[in-house]
Each structure stands twice: as structure tokens, then as C-alpha cells.
Amino acid sequence: DIQMTQSPSSVSASVGDRVTITCRASQGISRWLAWYQQKPGKAPKLLIYAASSLQSGVPSRFSGSGSGTDFTLTISSLQPEDFATYYCQQADSFPLTFGGGTKVEIK
């Protein structure tokens, strides 16, 4: 199975900050990576697929990049509604696997 490792596990940031989260796959997965946002008590929400394609309705301050084994999710200017936990997921093959999550907290 492909293992996904996210870092950091948590980050404290202020509104307006640029935030970057990284995700590493245990083997090459081309561009086949998705990112999700989850708020407490809610279901995950798809943000990005195929490493850099923005899901419909997702604000353009979210962007993704990377290929092979190393990927990043960037929030260009953090908004109050962005405080949440973010997960990467390898989309290359079954079983699908998630990273451990990165909690974005208010500084």
C-alpha cells in the first residue's frame, strides 16, 4: 500500500498569512493526489484533485502543486473560514490512502 505522510501535523497562523502544507508519498504517484478540508463535526470537502485542479466552487486562494512523491497545498491568504484540518489522499491506486492530516489553527 502507498503510505502518505503530511507535515506539519499542525500549524498556527493568522488571517492573511500564506500557509503551505506538504504531503509525501512512499512511491511515485504522478499527479494523482487529492486534498480535502474538514471542519469539526463535518464531512470532508474536496478542494483539489490531480494535484493542482481546483474543485468547482473552491476559492482561488487554494492551490496545489507537485508530482511524483512530493506535493504541496498552499492557502495564499488565510481566511477565518479556512481554519480546519486538511488531508491529502493518493489517487493513484486502491487501496486509497490518506495522510495523517494538518490542523490549521488560529495564532
Partner 1 sequence: EVQLVESGGGLVKPGGSLKLSCAASGFTFSNAWMSWVRQAPGKGLEWVGRIKSETDGETTDYAAPVKGRFTISRDDSKNTLYLQMNSLKTEDTAVYYCATVARGSGWISLHYYYYYYMDVWGKGTTVTVSS
81: enclosing H helix or E strand: none
Nearer to partner 1, 17 or 101 (CB): 101
How many chain residues interact with partner 1 (CB under 8 A)? 27
105 touching partner 1, by CB under 8 A: no
* Cell numbers placing 53: 485542479
Among 38, 52, 69, 76, binds partner 1 (CB under 8 A): 38
Q: Which amino acid is at 73?
A: L
Whether the Cβ atoms of residue 71 and residue 88 lie closer than 8 Å to each other:
yes
Residue placing its CB nearer to partner 1 in the complex, 22 or 55: 55
